[in-house]
Amino acid sequence: MLDAYRRGGFDLVILDYKIPRKNGMEVAKEIAAMAQSQKMLMITAYAGIIDPEQKPENMKIIGKPYYVDELIATIRNLTQSQPQLVKM
Protein backbone atom coordinates (compact mmCIF):
# COMPACT_ATOMS: atom_id res chain seq x y z
CA MET A 1 0.00 0.00 0.00
CA LEU A 2 2.77 2.47 0.85
CA ASP A 3 4.54 1.59 -2.43
CA ALA A 4 1.43 2.69 -4.34
CA TYR A 5 1.35 5.89 -2.32
CA ARG A 6 5.00 6.65 -3.07
CA ARG A 7 4.43 6.23 -6.84
CA GLY A 8 1.73 8.83 -7.24
CA GLY A 9 0.40 12.02 -5.76
CA PHE A 10 -3.06 11.73 -4.28
CA ASP A 11 -5.48 14.47 -3.30
CA LEU A 12 -7.04 12.16 -0.73
CA VAL A 13 -6.09 8.77 0.73
CA ILE A 14 -9.05 6.65 1.90
CA LEU A 15 -8.31 3.88 4.39
CA ASP A 16 -10.10 1.34 6.53
CA TYR A 17 -8.87 0.44 10.01
CA LYS A 18 -8.86 -3.29 9.27
CA ILE A 19 -6.44 -3.98 6.41
CA PRO A 20 -3.93 -6.80 5.81
CA ARG A 21 -0.55 -6.74 7.62
CA LYS A 22 -1.00 -3.39 9.43
CA ASN A 23 -3.95 -1.46 10.70
CA GLY A 24 -5.09 1.64 8.86
CA MET A 25 -3.90 3.95 11.65
CA GLU A 26 -0.34 2.65 11.30
CA VAL A 27 -0.47 3.26 7.55
CA ALA A 28 -1.94 6.75 8.10
CA LYS A 29 0.90 7.64 10.47
CA GLU A 30 3.50 6.40 7.97
CA ILE A 31 1.90 8.48 5.19
CA ALA A 32 1.77 11.52 7.48
CA ALA A 33 5.48 11.07 8.21
CA MET A 34 6.20 11.16 4.45
CA ALA A 35 3.78 13.98 3.61
CA GLN A 36 2.47 15.89 6.62
CA SER A 37 -0.13 17.78 4.58
CA GLN A 38 -1.63 14.66 2.95
CA LYS A 39 -5.41 14.58 3.45
CA MET A 40 -6.75 11.22 4.64
CA LEU A 41 -10.14 9.71 5.37
CA MET A 42 -10.62 6.56 7.42
CA ILE A 43 -13.93 4.75 6.96
CA THR A 44 -14.26 2.08 9.61
CA ALA A 45 -16.55 0.05 11.83
CA TYR A 46 -13.94 0.57 14.57
CA ALA A 47 -14.27 4.35 14.92
CA GLY A 48 -15.05 3.98 18.62
CA ILE A 49 -11.66 2.47 19.46
CA ILE A 50 -9.59 5.14 17.69
CA ASP A 51 -8.09 7.75 19.99
CA PRO A 52 -8.64 11.12 18.26
CA GLU A 53 -5.40 12.39 19.80
CA GLN A 54 -3.43 9.66 18.00
CA LYS A 55 -4.71 10.31 14.47
CA PRO A 56 -2.79 12.46 11.99
CA GLU A 57 -3.94 16.09 11.91
CA ASN A 58 -5.22 15.97 8.31
CA MET A 59 -7.30 12.81 8.79
CA LYS A 60 -11.06 12.57 9.31
CA ILE A 61 -12.84 9.43 10.49
CA ILE A 62 -16.28 8.21 9.42
CA GLY A 63 -17.85 5.28 11.24
CA LYS A 64 -19.65 2.47 9.44
CA PRO A 65 -22.44 2.39 8.60
CA TYR A 66 -22.45 5.84 7.08
CA TYR A 67 -24.66 7.90 4.79
CA VAL A 68 -23.42 8.68 1.29
CA ASP A 69 -24.22 12.37 1.89
CA GLU A 70 -21.89 12.30 4.92
CA LEU A 71 -19.15 10.69 2.83
CA ILE A 72 -19.47 13.24 0.02
CA ALA A 73 -19.55 16.17 2.46
CA THR A 74 -16.42 14.90 4.21
CA ILE A 75 -14.57 14.40 0.92
CA ARG A 76 -15.55 17.90 -0.19
CA ASN A 77 -14.43 19.31 3.13
CA LEU A 78 -11.06 17.57 2.91
CA THR A 79 -10.40 18.34 -0.74
CA GLN A 80 -12.40 21.57 -1.12
CA SER A 81 -13.61 20.28 -4.47
CA GLN A 82 -16.09 18.00 -6.18
CA PRO A 83 -15.17 14.35 -5.52
CA GLN A 84 -14.07 12.36 -8.55
CA LEU A 85 -13.66 8.61 -8.18
CA VAL A 86 -10.68 7.02 -9.87
CA LYS A 87 -10.59 3.27 -10.40
CA MET A 88 -7.20 1.80 -9.51
Per residue in 54-75, pLDDT tens? 889 999 999 999 999 999 999 9
Q: What is the pLDDT of residue 2?
A: 81
Residues 6 or more apart whose CB falls under 8 angstroms from that of 30 comprise 2
CA angle 34, 84, 78 (to 5 degrees): 50
pLDDT tens digit sequence for 30-58: 999 999 889 999 999 998 888 888 889 99
Element holding 58 (H helix, E strand): none
Superfamily of domain 2-79: Response regulator (3.40.50.2300)
Q: What is the pLDDT of residue 88?
A: 55
Do 42 and 50 touch, CB atoms closer than 8 A? Answer: yes
Q: What are phi and psi of 26, to 5 degrees?
A: -60, -45
Q: What is the pLDDT of residue 28?
A: 94
Residue 14 pLDDT greater than 80, yes or no: yes
